[in-house]
Copies of this chain bind each other. A is one copy, B any other.
Amino acid sequence: MMPGKEDILVPYADMKKIFSEILLKQGFTEDKAGQCAEIFTASSADGVYTHGVNRFPTFVSYIKKGYVKPAAEPSLKNSSGSMEQWDGNLGPGPLNAIAATDRAMQLADQSGIGCVALSNTNHWMRGGTYGWYAAKKGYAFIGFTNTIANMPVWGGKDKKLGNNPLIIAIPYKKEAIVLDMAMSQYSIGSLQQAKMKGERLAVNGGFDADGNLTNDPAAIIGSKRPLPVGYWKGAGMALLLDMLAVLLSGGLATHEISSKQAEYGLSQVFIAIDLSKLHPASSMNNILEAIILDYHSAEKADADGRILYPGERILATRKRNLEKGIPVLRAVWEEIGAL
User: Which residues of A approach B to under 8 Å, CB–CB?
Assistant: 78-85, 108, 110-115, 140, 142, 152-158, 160-161, 166, 168, 170, 177, 179, 181, 185, 203, 211, 229-231, 233-234, 236-237, 239-244, 246-248, 250, 253-255, 271, 273-275, 277-279, 284, 287-288, 290-291, 294-295, 297-302, 305-310
Contact = CB atoms under 8 A, between A and B. Distances in A.
A275 B254 CA distance: 20
Copies of this polypeptide in the complex = 2
A250 B230 CA distance: 30
Contact of A170 (B161, B170, B247, B305): B247
A168 B229 contact: no
Given A78-B278, A155-B308, 4 more contacts: A83-B113, A160-B295, A179-B237, A255-B294
A243 to B, nearest CB: 5
A229 B234 contact: yes
Contact of A239 (B155, B305, B309): B309
Main secondary structure of the interface of A (DSSP, over half): mixed
Given A83-B111, A230-B230, A253 B160 contact: no
Pairs A-B, 4 closest by C-beta atoms: A81-B111, A83-B112, A156-B298, A229-B230
Nearest to A228: B230
A291 B253 contact: yes
A83 B115 CA distance: 12
Contacts of A308: 155
A211 B301 contact: yes
